[in-house]
Amino acid sequence: MLQEILAFDFMRNALLAALLSSIACGIIGSYVVVKKIGFISGGIAHTAFGGIGLSYYLGINPLFGIIPFSLAAAMAIGLLGKKANVAEDTAIGTLWAIGMAVGVIFIGITPGYAPDLFSYLFGNILTVPTFDLWMILLLDFLIVVLVWLFNKEFLAISFDEEYAEVSGLPTTALYLLMLALIALTVVIMVRVVGIVMVIALLTIPAALARTFSRSLPRMMLVSVLLSALFSIAGLWLSFLLDIASGATIILVAGSTFFLVHAWRLLFVVLKKR
């Protein structure tokens, strides 16, 4: 069965994309969960739609449109919240909609039909070209190196930002860097689950990992493994049932999440009796 599946080039690429994206997703997702910035990540992802529209218009690889748009969204949300005294959810909501609007306009003025627009919105891991795999690998490398370098600072601002500031850390710069890493993770994830569903894969594995982890590095490791497991299981199921891969991955992750919590709840109830 496995050999059969791997005989297809696109399946090999899909598996590699699933595994490689899990690295960024598990590590950065852990920060997203402990710092409770899932909604910010959703905002960054949706703003990136503007980048997709722009790259359609310019006729370039959408990754090159998504990267600047998601990075700009990260900086704008971070700076508006920290420096301009704009409520964070207002900043997120505004950028989210502006990004989507820009994308719609660009796609509208681009002559012809936007062929795989759907796959950027909802992901299509089966169509990842080899070039994008290299990009994902490069971004993974960048993310791992930066997290390794800044691990004590990121831990400090995730845990207690005020204390980090009192300790003399440049907290705003560090926060913006963290948001930039989230933006790059979004870029990676777009291929796998699409911009609409990025938040789920960014948060579910990490949220599950937290319940079994005593430290943040441990949580990241468990989260990477869970994310890989969900992606591969989802990919396999979608192949078997011939249904959309991105959505299947999300549903596998989501149902595991609810099953684990239902189990824990049941355990608590049984213990009380």
Q: Which residues bind other proteins (CB under 8 A)?
A: 34, 36, 149-150, 152-153, 155-156, 158-160, 162-169, 210, 213-216, 218-219
The distance of closest approach from Cβ of residue 99 to other proteins in the complex, given in angstroms and rounded to an integer, is: 29
| Spatial CA neighbour of 186 closest among 65, 15, 58 | 65
Measured from the CB atom, is 17 or 156 closer to other proteins? 156
The distance of closest approach from Cβ of residue 168 to other proteins in the complex, given in angstroms and rounded to an integer, is: 3
The distance of closest approach from Cβ of residue 193 to other proteins in the complex, given in angstroms and rounded to an integer, is: 25
The distance of closest approach from Cβ of residue 263 to other proteins in the complex, given in angstroms and rounded to an integer, is: 18
The distance of closest approach from Cβ of residue 24 to other proteins in the complex, given in angstroms and rounded to an integer, is: 19
The distance of closest approach from Cβ of residue 254 to other proteins in the complex, given in angstroms and rounded to an integer, is: 21
Measured from the CB atom, is 113 or 148 closer to other proteins? 148
Measured from the CB atom, is 55 or 158 closer to other proteins? 158
The DSSP-derived string for the chain is: -HHHHHTSHHHHHHHHHHHHHHHHHHHHHHHHHHTT-HHHHHHHHHHTHHHHHHHHHHTS-HHHHHHHHHHHHHHHHHHHHHTS---HHHHHHHHHHHHHHHHHHHHHHSSS--TTHHHHHH--GGG--HHHHHHHHHHHHHHHHHHHHTHHHHHHHHH-HHHHHHTT--HHHHHHHHHHHHHHHHHHHHHHHHHHHHHHHHHHHHHHHHHT-SSHHHHHHHHHHHHHHHHHHHHHHHHHHT--HHHHHHHHHHHHHHHHHHHHHHHHHHHH-
Measured from the CB atom, is 12 or 210 closer to other proteins? 210
The distance of closest approach from Cβ of residue 149 to other proteins in the complex, given in angstroms and rounded to an integer, is: 5
Measured from the CB atom, is 171 or 248 closer to other proteins? 171
Measured from the CB atom, is 134 or 163 closer to other proteins? 163
Q: Report CA-CA distances (Å) from 189 to 2, 29, 144, 145.
A: 24, 11, 16, 19
Q: Which residues contact 26 (CB under 8 A, 6 or more apart)?
A: 205, 206, 209, 220, 221, 222, 223, 224, 225, 226, 227, 228
The distance of closest approach from Cβ of residue 31 to other proteins in the complex, given in angstroms and rounded to an integer, is: 12
